[in-house]
Chain A
């Protein structure tokens, strides 16, 4: 069964550094998402992306964040200048279509630690 993959599994960075988290969605999916889960808190929606544009974004997704689909397979989340509070597990997800009943398939996550 096709799966969403994410790299790296764990990223450690210094505060103020830029990080890029990578995701490879399922190949025939067209809609992509990033969520994050700070330790001990809920999984929170960050952004959705379709046709090379952001479809929706949450209040968390401020100017420090950006997303890109640089080629036909990767979907990336960039944090320009990391802060301590960006430490979290970041999950990528994808769906085949935009239907709200469509199942979102999640990747295994990237644990980001900001020191």
Chain B
């Protein structure tokens, strides 16, 4: 069975600081990887996804993530965060061997101080 771990549960940063949120998954086959964001009071929205090609993927709002297959990781990065990035971030995976159900990590709650 696939599983996803996000080791940072809460992160507090000042504006303009750099961000890296960790995501590790456990699955032996081919996976597709997603980062979703949930702003306060809003629904889950896709930030970016990876399924093939360049392991460095760029998403909306200046976010990017790098797939490192050897480390089973898909860390999310942003060079300079803004107060408006305050949200909860979820890493998720699915695989073509397990249907398209998403398996989520536990989420990381990011607070950016102005």
* Chain A residues with a Cβ under 8 A of chain B: 3-4, 31, 33, 35, 41-45, 48, 55-56, 58, 91, 95, 98-109
Contact = CB atoms under 8 A, between A and B. Distances in A.
A4 B43 contact: yes
B43 A108 contact: yes
B46 A103 contact: yes
Contacts, number: 58
A47 to B, nearest CB: 9
19 contacts: A35-B102, A42-B104, A43-B92, A43-B102, A45-B101, A48-B101, A55-B99, A56-B99, A100-B96, A100-B99, A100-B100, A101-B32, A102-B100, A103-B46, A104-B100, A106-B43, A106-B44, A107-B43, A108-B42
Contacts of A58: 101
B43 A45 contact: no
A44 B94 contact: no
Contacts of A106: 36, 43-45
A69 B103 CA distance: 24
Q: Is the interface of B mostly helix, strand, loop or mixed?
A: strand
A10 to B, nearest CB: 13
A104 B102 contact: yes
A37 to B, nearest CB: 8
Given A42-B105, A42-B106, A42-B107, A98 B43 contact: no
Contacts of B36: 106
Contacts of A35: 102, 104
